């Protein structure tokens, strides 16, 4: 397993991050335990979750599953860098969502109870809260840090200017601020190359891409359907209508490379200099095993150029990408 620093921090994380969103709704607790055990065996030490994952509002079912897995002992907690999130609605009353100081405090303490731990390695804001001042947000995060309940702070789904705004105010408060940004990023969704990636590179913030396979679109969907191994979901079918010519070229190119499309998509992300670790979200142990191949794939300049031709990005960073 390869390890890199999370942004400008001294924290070392694996180059693949284990996403747990399927644990509970689509993956049984027993299978989730097997997946997490295997992840540790192969050296994946970076796990991502959220208080809203699990399918039932306010229950934090996925966090509970991780907590029960940790409670088995064997150094499981000590080996894992856990990232969870705050923002989403955990109830129907006021102050049970978003980023007020009150909700941040309550949400963190509830996540700690569900996870059966006394600290969270990376506490991520699941979305920007345009109605809450940064002074309030940072004050709440600083208090959790002083209490030892969180070690690092990250963002998710932030625009480039949100990242700049957050970091400048954190700097004024002599606080480290953000060390990571979790963004939608894959071959079909490259908008963050305009503003988000340049902002993250400037401030020393690691990128943690979510949906690296575009919801399955980049996972060999055409071949899978043709061979009768899988049926594309409605969402993937809609995306396939939009991207079919590109997906046909992509899957043909992956066949030339002799690699599975899913692994090529992950490998492409691993070749992007701003990326720390793509989030893989296996539903089964077999899916986890297959994802490991991406770490071994080396894409040369010709291969990267061909992927850019199939899935053109926005043209680089702004404003050059659109101004000239």
Q: What kind and span of H or E run contains 189?
A: none
Determine contact, residues 134/163, Cβ cutoff 8 Å. Answer: no
Number of H helices, E strands in the chain: 13, 10
Determine contact, residues 261/250, Cβ cutoff 8 Å. Answer: yes
Active site residues: 53
Alpha carbon separation from 318 to 272, 311, 324 (Å, rounded): 17, 18, 10
List Cβ neighbours of 194 (8 Å cut-off, separation of 6 or more).
160, 314, 317, 318, 321, 322
Determine contact, residues 322/314, Cβ cutoff 8 Å. Answer: yes
Instruction: Count the neighbouring beta carbons within 10 Å of the beta carbon of residue 315.
Output: 13
Phi, psi (deg, nearest 5) at residue 137? -60, -50
């Amino acid at each position: 397993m390869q390890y890199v620093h999370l942004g400008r921090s001294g924290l070392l994380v694996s180059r693949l991050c284990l996403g747990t969103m399927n644990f509970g709704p689509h993956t049984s607790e027993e299978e989730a335990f097997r997946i997490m055990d295997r992840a540790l065996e192969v050296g994946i030490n970076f796990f991502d979750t959220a208080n809203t994952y699990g399918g039932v509002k306010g229950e934090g079912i996925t966090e509970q599953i991780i907590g029960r897995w940790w409670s088995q002992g064997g150094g499981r907690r000590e080996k894992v860098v856990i990232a969870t999130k705050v923002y989403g609605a955990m109830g129907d009353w006021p102050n049970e969502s978003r980023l007020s100081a009150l909700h941040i405090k309550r949400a963190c303490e509830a996540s700690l109870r569900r996870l059966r731990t006394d600290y969270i390695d990376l506490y991520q804001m699941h979305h920007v809260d345009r109605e809450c001042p940064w002074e309030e947000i940072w004050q709440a995060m600083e208090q959790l840090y002083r209490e030892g309940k969180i070690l690092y702070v990250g963002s998710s789904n932030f625009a480039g200017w949100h990242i700049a705004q957050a970091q400048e105010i954190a700097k004024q408060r002599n606080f480290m601020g953000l060390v990571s940004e979790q963004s939608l990023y894959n071959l079909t969704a490259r908008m963050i190359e305009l503003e988000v990636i340049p902002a993250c590179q400037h401030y020393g913030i690691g990128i943690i891409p979510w949906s690296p396979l575009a919801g399955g679109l980049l996972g060999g969907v055409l071949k899978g359907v043709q061979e009768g191994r899988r049926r594309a979901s409605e969402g993937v079918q809609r995306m396939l209508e939009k991207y079919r010519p590109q997906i046909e070229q992509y899957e043909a190119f992956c066949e030339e490379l002799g690699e599975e499309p899913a692994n090529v998509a992950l490998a492409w992300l691993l070749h992007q200099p701003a990326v720390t670790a793509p989030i893989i979200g296996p539903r089964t142990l077999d899916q986890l095993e297959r994802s490991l191949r991406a770490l071994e794939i080396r894409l040369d300049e010709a291969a990267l150029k061909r992927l850019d031709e199939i899935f053109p990005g926005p043209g680089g960073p702004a404003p050059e990408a659109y101004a000239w």
